[in-house]
Amino acid sequence: MKYNVGLFIPCYVDQFFPEVGIATLRLLEKHNCNVIFPEQQTCCGQPMANTGMEQEGKKIYQQMAELFKNCDYIVGPSPSCVYHIRKHYDVAEQTEEIKHLRANCYDLVEFLYDVLKITQLDVSFPHRVGLHKGCHGLRGMQLDKPSELQKEVAPKWTTILHMVNDIEIADLTRTDECCGFGGTFAVAEEAISVKMGKDRVQDHINNQVEVITSGDMSCLMHLQGIIKRQKNGPKIMHIANILNGDTL
């Protein structure tokens, strides 16, 4: 059966990283989805809500839900934004549209693993890759096992990434420490945010990583900013681009 999938492109991906949106769209189409992109979408409201202004952000929630009401699934290349919708749209009036959106909204990798249940990918990425496990995807949605927990968790990110041919996934010293982006935290606590980012980058450098990938472009944007400034460090690529077979 062919799903009608609503493509959810977070605002900063739309504006700064269109290639991630393009890869997501192509990847879904390759996997037999009928992709619909509602062009009226803007932002999920996370920046406001995480700063405490949920009451303001809430004004966008219904608008978001309305756009996707006719889709079987809503899929976006960002665990962080998807997590926000699932978890924090609880403060909106629980209309049919909101309920539908919250119940059927998926991160791209999670969708490939849980819904499409893919078992192979016909692409190659002959590089040594460091997987940055963004916190909302890791601890909020358990797309991999958080290092603190002592229970079995299906490693969705790692499993999907391993389907890529010729890829080498590096072990990191701190497997899942936060990169320090944190939305407005990145500027409100600039010193710590940068220090956390530098430490993350260094871990990848120490483990001979050639490309840092992640489900969230926001973490990568922060890490990339640091790498470019210090003129030292791996390349950056969103997981959607790797899974879509894009070259470095």
Contacting other proteins within 199-228 (CB under 8 A): 199, 221-222, 224-226, 228
- 127-146 positions binding other proteins, by CB under 8 A: 135-136, 138-140, 146
The DSSP code sequence of the chain is ---EEEE---HHHHHH-HHHHHHHHHHHHHTT-EEE--TT----SHHHHHTT-HHHHHHHHHHHHHHTTT-SEEEES-HHHHHHHHHHGGGS---HHHHHHHHHEEEHHHIIIIIS-------B--SEEEEE--HIIIIIT-SS--TT--S----HHHHHHHTSBT-EEPPPSSTT---S-TTTHHHHTHHHHHHHHHHHHHHHHHTT-SEEEES-HHHHHHHHHHHHHHT-S-EEEEHHHHHTT---
Instruction: State in angstroms the smallest separation of the CB of 185 from other proteins.
Output: 5
Binding residues for other proteins restricted to 20-49, rule: CB under 8 A: 21-22, 25, 37, 39-43, 45, 47-49
Q: Select 58 or 128, whichever has its Cβ closest to other proteins.
A: 58
Q: Considering the complex, what minimum distance in angstroms separates the CB of residue 199 from other proteins?
A: 7
> Least CB distance from residue 125 to other proteins, whole Å?
22
Instruction: Based on the shown chain and the rule CB under 8 A, indicate whether residue 13 belongs to the binding site for other proteins.
Output: yes
* Residue with Cβ nearer other proteins (130 or 233): 233
Sites for other proteins among residues 160-199 (CB under 8 A): 174, 177-178, 180-197, 199
